[in-house]
Amino acid sequence: MMENYDLLLAILFQLAQLLLVVLLAPLLTGWVNQCQAWLQNRSGAGVLQPYRVLRKLFHKDAVIAHNASWLFRVTPYIVFGCMWLAAAIIPIIAVDLPFSQAADVIALVGVFALARVFISLAAMDIGTAFGSLGARREMLVSFLAEPALLMVLFTASMISHSTQLPSIVDTLAHHQFVLYPSLAFAALAFVIVLLAENARIPVDNPATHLELTMIHEAMILEYSARHLALIEWASSLKLFAYISIGIALFVPHGIIEVGNWAGLPLAIVLLLLKLMLAGAGLAVFEIVSAKLRIFRAPEFLGTAFLLAVLGLLIHFLLGA
């Protein structure tokens, strides 16, 4: 009876988080853009702008190239589904979510990879010069970013002797406070990976459609209306997911167990605070740094990879 109640509660929490992330994600994107606008002292379109964009896109008629195949059409749903799921299994408010049993950090990376492969394939489907160019660049960036991310996660899971995000967070947040030098390296690497994977400056620029530089935008050139909407939504979900991974790994404090009603409000407030800070930080970083040439990007990500491995090695060296 009791554990059934717990399970029910857990599932409730899981569903709550599903809903929360999918609704909150565009807001985060909006917030980042708004911060940038402020920093460039423009007035900005307001934090709700992404919602408006999505609404507009959903109401339009879809235009699809003549030779688009089924792959092209299902991709947005797959990508959206994957990102939603990824964002949903990262403990941001409460730890033991039932679904994170089914997919640990490696699976998480797998989810991202799945979405990436599909969107790259879809980009190549039409056969325009841009699509395949974007796909190639995307895969190029990712084949360096993905292992780096994996290494970052490994550092954490080495510390907590687990690849389950909940247990990682549990170890880092709820046991006695320890300073992990290895995590410092990991954090640095993670930031770079985050920038690269979410098509932010200096690797890519979400705001440009300049052929020579764009990566992510080049892939989705052929999408319109609801498909585009889903993809945009998915990318803001992705940003949300990455930031919450960062939170879970590096500042997990304040995340509660399921059923701890007393801590819940505080946890939510803390989460929002963290998100706002992270978004602002991202905005600042993007403002102050310049876009890299595309062939500098591998070196940039290479450093991330090396940093992550270094972190892991340091963990072995110092045992922390």
230 sits near other proteins (criterion: CB under 8 A):
yes
- Contacts of other proteins in 232-291 (CB under 8 A): none
Going from the C-alpha of 53 to that of each of 154, 233, 305, the distances in angstroms are 37, 10, 35
Q: With residue 228 as reference, give the H or E element that holds it.
A: helix 225-250
Q: Which stretch binds other proteins (CB under 8 A): 153-161, 200-208, 237-245, 270-278?
A: 153-161
Q: What spatial distance separates the first Cα and last Cα of the chain, rounded to whole Å?
A: 41
Chosen residue from 15, 48, 71, 277 binding other proteins by CB under 8 A: 71
Closest contact distance (angstroms) between CB of 200 and other proteins is 20
Query: Nearer to other proteins by C-beta: 49 or 128?
Result: 128
Contact 163, 157 (CB under 8 A): yes
What value does the CA radius of gyration of the chain take, rounded to a whole number of Å?
Answer: 20
Which of 49, 163, 213, 303 contacts other proteins by CB under 8 A? 163
Binding residue (CB under 8 A) for other proteins from 7, 12, 15, 101: 101
Confirm if 88 and 14 have CB atoms less than 8 A apart: yes
Among the listed residues 29, 36, 157, 244, the single contact to other proteins using CB under 8 A = 157
Q: Which is nearer to other proteins, 136 or 291 (CB)?
A: 136
Distance CA 193, CA 311 (A): 15
Is there binding between residue 226 and other proteins (CB under 8 A)? Answer: yes
Name the residue nearer to other proteins (CB basis): 33 or 75.
Answer: 75
Tell me how far apart the alpha carbons of residues 154 and 151 are, in angstroms, rounded to a whole number: 5
Considering the rule CB under 8 A, would residue 175 count as an interface residue with other proteins? no
- Which CB atom, from 211 or from 273, has the smaller least distance to other proteins? 211
Q: Which residues contact 60 (CB under 8 A, 6 or more apart)?
A: 224, 225, 226
- Residues 106-125 interacting with other proteins (rule: CB under 8 A): 106-107, 110-111, 113-114, 116-117, 120-121, 124-125
| Number of amino acids touching other proteins (CB under 8 A) | 78
Contact of 222 with 133, CB cutoff 8 Å: no
- For residue 48, report the phi and psi dihedrals to the nearest 5 degrees: -90, 0
Say how far apart CA 74 and CA 244 lie, in whole Å: 27
Q: Which of 49, 132, 213, 303 binds other proteins (CB under 8 A)?
A: 132
The correct pick among 44, 263, 281, 298 for binding other proteins (CB under 8 A) is 298
Within 10 angstroms of residue 318's Cβ, the number of other Cβ atoms is 10
> What is the footprint of other proteins within residues 8-67 (CB under 8 A)?
58-59, 61-67
Residue 94's DSSP bridge partners are: 256
Amino acid at 115: A
4 touches other proteins by CB under 8 A: no
- List the one residue from 33, 167, 198, 205 that touches other proteins (CB under 8 A): 167
**Residue 188 interacts with other proteins (CB under 8 A): yes or no:** no
